Amino acid sequence: MTSRIIPVKPFDYVVFGATGDLTYKKLIPALYHRFADGQFDEQSKIIGIARSNWNDEQFRSFVRKSINEFIDKSLIDKDIVNRFISLFFYIANDINSDKGWAELGEQLRDEENIIRAFYLAVPPSIFAPICDNIAKWNYWHSDARVVVEKPLGHDLQSSKEINDAIERTFCEDQIYRIDHYLGKETVQNLLALRFANILFEPIWNSAHIDHVQISVCETIGAGTRGYYDGTGALRDMVQNHILQLLCLVAMEPPASDRANSLRDEKLKVLHSLAPISGENVEKLTVRGQYGGVSAEGVSVKSYQEELEKSKKGSHTETFVALKLALKNWRWSGVPFYLRTGKRMAKRMSEIVIQFREIPHSIFSHAKGAPIPNMLVIRLQPDEGVKLFMMIKDPGPGGMRLKQVHLNLSFADAFNERTPNAYERLLLDVIRGNQTLFMRRDELEAAWTWIDPIMEEWQQTDRPPQKYNAGTWGPTNSIALIERDGRTWHEESDF
Ligand code: BG6
């Protein structure tokens, strides 16, 4: 493992929102792993900034707590933890006043070889004052970077406003817009699968593919997350993560793995999305909201029950399914079915490439008809790839056809801890590699496609269809695909 670690330059990582959930649950554990693996050392600094009147010691205990909670015990080494914790400093700041800004200047180092990155783990409503202050206090320089997370807007207009505010200080190649799905190993593997093998590319088109499914199913609920209500599954999951997955599946081979080469191709996919608007919204989309269940001693609250009183009756969707088309040469006539939801039967994210039937079967006397090939790319859990194909069932008894699968399970093939998405992304910022981050035009193209769907839903203001927690979503989502003579892939044991 160590031999594959490429150390990065020393850095000053400034984290706004340092006492929040994202820092606690994701950023600290990710940085710990990278430090423990030797990717950076004591020459780097992590400067936490937030409103609470903490000091360095209090912040360091928070860091220690995060490590104890989120790092596997077997990977906690006392000496490494102590060295790691010594990199953390804290500044109490108020973005609406001068409090804390001069102290930040004392912490930042002006040496040329030290990379400066600002991570805004705060709501987008305060991106503008933070960026403005960075400029005002002269903490910006041409090699500094800023990292931002969703929600980058709730529609095209608000997303433009957020980006305009950031761009008053930083230019596009300094802005790292995180979509953590792109940092997942299995998502990056999609690129390897498609473009490091000769096998798939010649048949990766409408002549050979019948349809594509992308499912991101979760078992967790959403009603207790303040942000979720009024946001819903379409904005929370489809606008970013799922459209990014779609881009990787559908894009043309980029000329290289350079950031803009890849992002140009993803953008073309987003531009070829057939618009869904007006009455098509009813035909091509399904919204759902989970109801509670109470059976065999297990009781799960409905979304409505989880909501605070003032939000009861909300029409926010916790599930969405869509059928979409790409208007381009490669994918003409190939439907893409997407679905995502909370409180579903199983936690499972996968991409299914369903190939067409063979043009002519020579097996008129065989038992069992040839079943079309299918490639299932499992993103999580049980990461791996399965290729379903036909063989002759061995032994006597004439020609009997049987479906089997070639199975590449990552856990079996690579007996290693899979790094989480933030480990890769946080250090890509330091490396200056924007490949796995969204460019502004991608973000806006995604919102341009999403907005008419949201508008139609708002206009008709129908409640989402109920589905029971622990199921595969509302019945209309099953009808959406079965109307076309197809079914969602739900193989229980991947
Ligand atoms: C986040 C969404 O971006 O992704 C959450 O806001 C969702 O609602 C999460 O649960 C899913 O991420 P993962 O990595 O657990 O699949």
Segment among 27-36, 65-74, 410-419 with least mean pLDDT? 410-419
Nearest to 416 by CA among 63, 72, 17, 20: 72
> Which CATH number do you get for residue 17?
3.40.50.720
Is 376 a domain residue? yes
Predicted confidence (pLDDT) at residue 493 exceeds the cutoff of 70: no
Q: Pick the residue whose CA is nearest to atom 8 on ligand 1.
A: 236
Q: How far is CA 131 from the centre of its chain?
A: 25
From ligand 1's centre to the CA of 363, what distance in Å? 46
Q: Is the CB of 210 under 6 A from ligand 1?
A: no
From ligand 1's centre to the CA of 113, what distance in Å? 35
Please give, one letter per residue, the 3-state secondary structure of the chain. CHHHCCCCCCEEEEEECCCCHHHHHHHHHHHHHHHHCCCCCCCCEEEEEECCCCCHHHHHHHHHHHHHHHCCHHHCCHHHHHHHHCCEEEEECCCCCCCCHHHHHHHCCCCCCCEEEEEECCCHHHHHHHHHHHHHCCCCCCCCEEEEECCCCCCHHHHHHHHHHHHCCCCHHHEEEECHHHHCHHHHHHHHHHHCCCCCHHHCCCCCEEEEEEEEECCCCCCCCCCCCCCHHHHHHHHHHHHHHHHHHHCCCCCCCCHHHHHHHHHHHHHCECCCCCHHHHHHEEEEEEECEEECCEEECCHHHHCCHHHCCCCCCCEEEEEECECCCCCCCCCEEEEEECCECCCEEEEEEEECCCCCCCCCCCECCCCCCEEEEEEECCCEEEEEEEEECCCCCCCEEEEEEEEEEHHHHCCCCCCCHHHHHHHHHHHCCCCCEECHHHHHHHHHHHHHHHHHHHHHCCCCEEEECCECCCHHHHHHHHCCCCCCCCCCCC
Q: Is the CB of 149 under 6 A from ligand 1?
A: no
Q: How many domains does the chain have?
A: 2
Specify whether 116 is located in the same domain as 195.
Answer: no
Nearest ligand 1 atom to the CA of 220 is: 10
pLDDT attached to residue 492: 58
Domain ranges, residue 17: 11-149
Task: Give tens-digit pLDDT for 92-127.
Answer: 998 888 999 999 999 999 998 999 999 999 999 999
Specify whether 115 is located in the same domain as 189.
Answer: no
Active site (catalytic) residues: 241
Stated length of the chain: 494
pLDDT attached to residue 42: 96
Partners of 339 in the β-ladder: 215, 321
Banded pLDDT at 441 (limits 50, 70, 90): very high
From ligand 1's centre to the CA of 136, what distance in Å? 35
Angle between helices 156-167 and 440-460 (to 10 degrees): 150
> Which CATH number do you get for residue 340?
3.30.360.10
Specify whether 128 is located in the same domain as 189.
Answer: no
Average pLDDT, integer, range 283-298: 90
Predicted confidence (pLDDT) at residue 428 exceeds the cutoff of 80: yes
Task: Give tens-digit pLDDT for 160-194.
Answer: 999 999 999 999 999 999 999 999 989 999 999 99
pLDDT cut 90: percent of the chain above it: 85
From ligand 1's centre to the CA of 225, what distance in Å? 12
pLDDT cut 70: percent of the chain above it: 99
Average pLDDT, integer, range 438-462: 96
Is 53 a domain residue? yes
Predicted confidence (pLDDT) at residue 419 exceeds the cutoff of 90: no
Select from 227, 241, 316, 347 the residue to mutate for testing ligand 1; criterion: most ligand atoms less than 8 Å from CB. Answer: 241
Which residue, 99, 130, 149, sits at the end of a domain? 149
First and final CA of the chain: distance in angstroms? 28
Q: Is the CB of 236 under 6 A from ligand 1?
A: yes
Is 159 a domain residue? no
Task: Give tens-digit pLDDT for 12-66.
Answer: 999 999 999 999 999 999 999 999 999 999 999 999 999 999 999 999 999 999 9
Average pLDDT, integer, range 442-455: 97
pLDDT attached to residue 325: 98
Nearest ligand 1 atom to the CA of 349 is: 16
pTM for the structure as a whole = 0.94
Specify whether 142 is located in the same domain as 222.
Answer: no
pLDDT attached to residue 4: 76
Task: Give tens-digit pLDDT for 228-254.
Answer: 998 999 999 999 999 999 999 999 999
Cα–Cα distances in Å, from 198 out to 126, 335, 379, 386? 47, 24, 22, 17
Is 39 a domain residue? yes
Is 384 a domain residue? yes
Predicted confidence (pLDDT) at residue 362 exceeds the cutoff of 80: yes
Select from 181, 343, 418, 425 the residue to mutate for testing ligand 1; criterion: most ligand atoms less than 8 Å from CB. Answer: 181
Q: Pick the residue whose CA is nearest to atom 2 on ligand 1.
A: 236
Which residue, 126, 149, 172, sits at the end of a domain? 149
Task: Give tens-digit pLDDT for 30-40.
Answer: 999 999 999 99
Specify whether 336 is located in the same domain as 461.
Answer: yes
Cα–Cα distances in Å, from 80 out to 117, 209, 421? 23, 50, 22
Banded pLDDT at 2 (limits 50, 70, 90): very low
